[in-house]
Amino acid sequence: MLALFVSLSIRPETRDTFVAGIKAHAEASLEWELGCVRFDVCEDVEDADHFLLYEVYEDEAAFKAHRETEHFARWTETRNACVVEVDRTLARIL
């Protein structure tokens, strides 16, 4: 199993667009991807423009397949319009 941790800071004026886009992406990932086990979207309680994502995939093939979906392409457009800073860590679950 693989876990992806993502930290995102957004432009404040894009908040509504970002929230709608990431929620749609998370829901589509869980509904349409058999290898996507978990997809949590978290809002920082101290900074409304900072979000954390926690995603879990069955294996590397499932993670790769995730990045090739139509909903990932839509999410990429939203991310590019809203996000000013991103940090990702991919980890193997022991």
| Element counts in the chain: helices (H) and strands (E) | 3, 4
Q: What's the pTM value of the predicted model, to 2 decimals?
A: 0.93
Contact 56, 93 (CB under 8 A): yes
How far apart (Å, rounded) are the C-alpha atoms in residues 76 and 81? Answer: 9
pLDDT given for residue 36 in this prediction: 98
Domains (ranges, CATH) in the chain?
2-92 (3.30.70.100)
Residue pLDDT, tens place only, 27-80: 999 999 999 999 999 999 999 999 999 999 999 999 999 999 999 999 999 999
